[in-house]
Amino acid sequence: MAKLYFRYGAMNSGKSTALLQAAFNYEERGQRVFLAKPGIDSKGADEIVSRLGVTRTVDVLIGAEDSVRSLFHTASRGEASLIPEVPLAEVACLLVDEAQFLSPSQVDDLLRIAVLDDVPVLAYGIRTDFQTRAFPGAGRLLEIAHTLEELKTICRCGRKAVFNGRRIGESFIFDGDQVAIDGESVTYESLCAACYLRESGGTLIPAAATRPDSTEQ
C-alpha cells in the first residue's frame, strides 16, 4: 500500500524546490510523475515556481469544488485515454504543491489515491497562516498523513523559523484574510517564535480574529 506524505515548513523553506527535485529523481529513473496544485494559488499561474528560479507546468490545477481523485483519474490518462489499445504508463507518484489550500475533503481524496489506487502522494505546504492558525488543508494533512516531514528554514535571528509573518512595506500586519497570495504590497517573512511574538506584541491569534471554516474569503 502506498502512503500519503505531508512535507511542510515555514515560508521560504524550499518546499517547491524539494517537490521539483523529487519529480526529477523519479523521472531520472524512467518513472512517470503527476504534478498538481490548487488553482487558488495564482503565483505562477499553472506553474510550480521555485525560489531558485526553476519552474515547471503542472498537469492539473485543482478547483475549489473539484474531486481530486476524479481529476487525477481523468487527467493522468491524458490523450491516451482516447486510444484504449495503447497501454497507459503507470503513475509512480502524485506531487501536490501548496497543499494547505486544499479543502479537508480534497485531502481525504489524496489519502484515497494513496491507499485505494496505490499511488504515493507527496503533498507540500505550510501549516499555519500569518496569525498562526492552521490552514484547513494543512490541518487535515496533519491528521491523516502517514508520514510528516518538516522542511526547515531559519529566522532573521538565526533560530529555526516556524511562523509566517505578513508584511505590507516595512510593517508586519496581524489582521486580514487568511489567503492573500503574494502581490504588489503583501510579502511574507519566516520568523521564529521569539521574533514573531516581538513583532506582534506578544499576541499569537488576535482576539478579533475568527477561525475560518475554509480558505474561501
SS3 180: coil
Closest CA to 2 of 92, 67, 98: 92
Q: Which long-range contacts (CB under 8 A, 24 or more apart) does 175-182 make?
A: 175/131, 175/206, 175/208, 175/209, 176/130, 177/217, 178/129, 178/131, 178/133, 178/135, 178/212, 178/215, 178/217, 179/40, 179/101, 179/129, 179/215, 179/217, 181/40, 181/41, 181/42, 181/43, 182/43
**Beta-strand relationship, 163-168 and 186-191:** antiparallel
Distance between CA atoms of residues 150 and 13, nearest Å: 9
- Which residues carry out catalysis? 98
Distance between CA atoms of residues 66 and 76, nearest Å: 15
- Which residues are 194's β-sheet partners? none
